[in-house]
Amino acid sequence: IAGITQAPTSQILAAGRRMTLRCTQDMRHNAMYWYRQDLGLGLRLIHYSNTAGTTGKGEVPDGYSVSRANTDDFPLTLASAVPSQTSVYFCASSDSEADTQYFGPGTRLTVL
């Protein structure tokens, strides 16, 4: 089934640990995005990539890093997790930055 997959579905993490959230799409979309969603707030863009090999910072990039080695994969890394990074993380993709974004199922992350 075509679409976007994310792993893990959920994770509880001790503060200070390193964590990588995985995102893979099979739609050959050029653009990919990472958002966080917190109660009472809109989705906030963390990082994005308009094409393989390039990345950019969104609204809330601090404490996160990304890479885009190929078209399909866009992992998000928390180098040293803090409790304020407790959130639901959504990966999304679009054919280009000017097209509709489609979302993965999300990763629920709790940092204790």
Closer Cβ to other proteins, 58 or 75, answer by number: 58
Least distance CB 68 / other proteins (angstroms) = 17
CA distances from 18 to 15, 79, 85, 86, 111 (A): 9, 5, 12, 14, 11
> What b/e readout covers 19-45, taking b as 16+ CB neighbours within 10 angstroms?
bebebbbeeebbbbbbbbeeeeeebeb
Does residue 61 touch other proteins according to CB under 8 A? no
Residue whose pair of structure tokens reads 């863009």 in the numeric block? 45
Positions in 67-106 near other proteins (CB under 8 A) = 90, 97-98, 100-106
Does residue 30 touch other proteins according to CB under 8 A? no
Least distance CB 43 / other proteins (angstroms) = 4
- The residues pairing with 4 across neighbouring beta strands, listed in sequence order, are 25
Least distance CB 24 / other proteins (angstroms) = 15
Q: Which residues bind other proteins (CB under 8 A)?
A: 40-45, 48, 58-59, 90, 97-98, 100-106
